[in-house]
Structure 1
Amino acid sequence: METSRLGRTAVEVTRLGFGGGPLGGLFAPLDDETAAGALTAAWDGGIRYYDTSPHYGIGHSERRIGEFLRSRPRDSFVLSTKVGRLLVPQDPAGRTDPAGFHVPATHRRVRDFTRDGIRRGVEDSLQRMGLDRIDVLYLHDAEEFFDDALRDGYPALAELRSEGIVGAIGAGMYDTDLLTTLVEETDVDVIMQSGRHTLLDHSALDTFLPACEKRGVSVIAASIFNSGLLAVPRPVAGAHFDYETATPEIVERANRIADVCEAHGVTLPQAAMAFPLRHPAVAGIAVGMRSAEEVRRNVESFAAEVPAQVWVDLRAAGLIGSTATRVV
């Protein structure tokens, strides 16, 4: 599978990455066997970039990904995880994790973007995964703690990079305005931008992606299906959009996009995967996957050729903005 380099670092990722959120039991329970099957299918499909976080299932995703990758040569894959949440053990008392992951509430999350908190987070993640290093480290969901993340978190990441403990640093967030500030005021290598550079949301194009292109910062586009709506050929009522139930208007718009795609023999998921990669700042996409069948379907969609006329017709129909593609 084709790879891209992150910023000015030596880290290279496959253009399709494995998003580890579902391995934490996001939306529905997930057993170890199914998770292992998804990871095996991803490897067999050529994916060599794996992203996870302590947040995903309060450590379940990191544990599962680490267990799988420990049997692979360490230089044959790229691993990213995130900092900003420490996991503190607690008595689950029969409760399920309140953050939307279907796992016992064995830990609680404590937000910490201090230098000590970030270094402890790295140590904890390495211990959970059983691996010797992390290739890419992101500040995670720092919107409500942005001043702390900018003042304390970024310098801590830069220190880890200078020490050779991590190869590339950045942030994983939704808010494109704050991410633009981070890109312009720091020396990050890569941003994992979630849900704002998709077929249904082009807001990353306003200031964020131009800033990344100007500063030489790479982007990993995440939540490209907007948490589910764009993951199927024909969205229906009740589908998820940005982790909530999609409005009828959003469902209708997605189906209008599907109409244009189908006229060119392309499915909605195929177009949704191809769209973010058209911008020169985007090094790859990270797609959350929870089963071998889902992985194989996504790998096949990723490999599909999307004719340039699709983007021309979508723009003509007013379904994507004039700045949303590099179509000439």
Structure 2
Amino acid sequence: MWYRNKDRDGNWSHWNHQRLSHWDQEVAKKYAQDEHIPENDDIGSSYWPQLGPYSSLDPQTIATHMDMMKRAGLGVAVVSWYPPGLHDPALDDLNQTVDILRALLLDIAWAHGMRVAIHLEPYEGRTPSTVRKDFEYIHTHYGEHPALHRVANVRDGTLLPLVYIYDSYHNSPEEWARLLTPNGDLSVRGKTGLDCTAIFLWVEAAHSTYTKSGFDGFYTYFAAAGFVYGSTPSNWLYMGRVAQEAGIYFIPSVGPGYIDVEVRPWNFANTRDRRDGQYFDHMFSEAARLRPKMVSITSFNEWHEGTNIEPALYGKSTVASLTWPARAYLNYGSDPEFYLTKTKQWVERMFGPPGLVIP
């Protein structure tokens, strides 16, 4: 929900993403650090969206996205979320304080037969204590809406709002246990208007300890296979056994590939070629071996990191400038909806329609 269009919103956000500097100054000085210029058809992505550089606040764009996801066999969109008064840092100059979820997303999702779940961002000062307040806000402001996605918790099967907690490792297992175990001093468990189905992010091997913190499950997020322990499919069978022994969900995250060199121009090492859909097929096939109840896709429209399955335009190039020569955008081949179609095939193979969860 972080994209803004100058014509509609008064300024750009994210499409004009700055090229980030490397932490090693000797490496950093080899690469440009300027912003992209959408007016030159130059955006912070290796792909060009079929809809162009849109605004995430445009109701028609949201409706189109929900329709795309529905046609891909998906049932739930997981959206980036900040508590009241906070927002993505790139929106600092745009005074974005509206609760987009309540104002736009839930009604439009429901009208298209979709549901919405929360991807709780690692805002400054986030602790289990503040997350307790976030859970309360989610219940108070969205809890009565039929589009808020609910999943059975692992203790008594009560249907509760599904919340993915990104970068959960910023707090220790012991800190989370205060919130998520029945006897914790901050416990939300069994409390009406507070309890949620909470999912942690498993990144490193040592994060298995979080399975004892009261979480209902874990996901892996990253689409670059081998980037970290959790995003390495060869580790998933073991991780699945850990989940089974703990009696919690394992939600493997699959992606179509990875390329972020338009925002991290020095990061070619982490590029994962799509191989005409074979990369996506491999990740899905590894996830299918686990027979999971849910799978997440990274991503629908994280255009900066090239994990997008949203339709991308074929044959698009930037406009040459004094600073940069024209560059051709990558594409999915001649069919902009190639990955929507492929997603639907895997959804039906694994779950029957519909079934997936998209962060």
TM-score by length of 2: 0.51
**Match of residue 112 from structure 1:** 127
The alpha-carbon deviation at position 136 of structure 1 amounts to: 0.7
Rounded to whole Å, the distance in 2 between the matches of 1:63 and 1:244 is: 34
SS in 1 for 2:81: coil
Percent identical across equivalent pairs? 8
1:217 aligns with 2:248: yes
List gaps (5 residues or longer) in structure 1: 1-19, 87-108, 230-236, 306-328
Structure (1 or 2) with the greater strand fraction: 1
2:311 to 282, 285, 293: 293
Asked whether the 8 Å contact 2:135–2:195 carries over to 1, the reply is no
Deviations 1:228-264 (Å, cap 9, x if unpaired)? 24xxxxxxx94889x97231xx65xx55x94xxx7xx
List gaps (5 residues or longer) in structure 2: 5-12, 18-43, 45-52, 90-95, 150-160, 302-308, 313-335, 347-359
In structure 2, the CA distance between the partners of 1:176 and 1:61, relative to structure 1 (3 Å rule), is: farther
Asked whether the 8 Å contact 1:137–1:170 carries over to 2, the reply is yes
1:144 aligns with 2:155: no
**Match of residue 118 from structure 2:** 81
**Match of residue 121 from structure 1:** 134
The alpha-carbon deviation at position 302 of structure 1 amounts to: 1.8
**Match of residue 302 from structure 1:** 343
Rounded to whole Å, the distance in 2 between the matches of 1:78 and 1:66 is: 15
Asked whether the 8 Å contact 1:240–1:246 carries over to 2, the reply is no
Rounded to whole Å, the distance in 2 between the matches of 1:296 and 1:60 is: 33
Asked whether the 8 Å contact 2:225–2:233 carries over to 1, the reply is yes
Alpha-carbon RMSD across the aligned residues, in angstroms, is 4.6
1:175 to 180, 184, 203: 203
**Match of residue 205 from structure 1:** 236
Counterpart of 1:153 in structure 2: which amino acid?
L
Greater mean deviation of Cα atoms: 161-170 or 33-42? 161-170
Asked whether the 8 Å contact 2:198–2:216 carries over to 1, the reply is yes
Deviations 1:28-62 (Å, cap 9, x if unpaired)? 57513344422332134332112123257368897
The alpha-carbon deviation at position 220 of structure 1 amounts to: 2.0
Rounded to whole Å, the distance in 1 between the matches of 2:266 and 2:132 is: 33
In structure 2, the CA distance between the partners of 1:165 and 1:212, relative to structure 1 (3 Å rule), is: same
Asked whether the 8 Å contact 2:66–2:114 carries over to 1, the reply is no
Rounded to whole Å, the distance in 1 between the matches of 2:2 and 2:233 is: 23
Rounded to whole Å, the distance in 1 between the matches of 2:190 and 2:14 is: 35
SS in 2 for 1:279: coil
2:294 to 276, 283, 287: 283
Asked whether the 8 Å contact 2:169–2:201 carries over to 1, the reply is yes
SS in 1 for 2:243: helix
Rounded to whole Å, the distance in 1 between the matches of 2:141 and 2:14 is: 17
Rounded to whole Å, the distance in 2 between the matches of 1:187 and 1:219 is: 14
The alpha-carbon deviation at position 72 of structure 1 amounts to: 5.0
Counterpart of 1:245 in structure 2: which amino acid?
N
Counterpart of 1:119 in structure 2: which amino acid?
R
Rounded to whole Å, the distance in 2 between the matches of 1:192 and 1:138 is: 8
**Match of residue 67 from structure 1:** 104
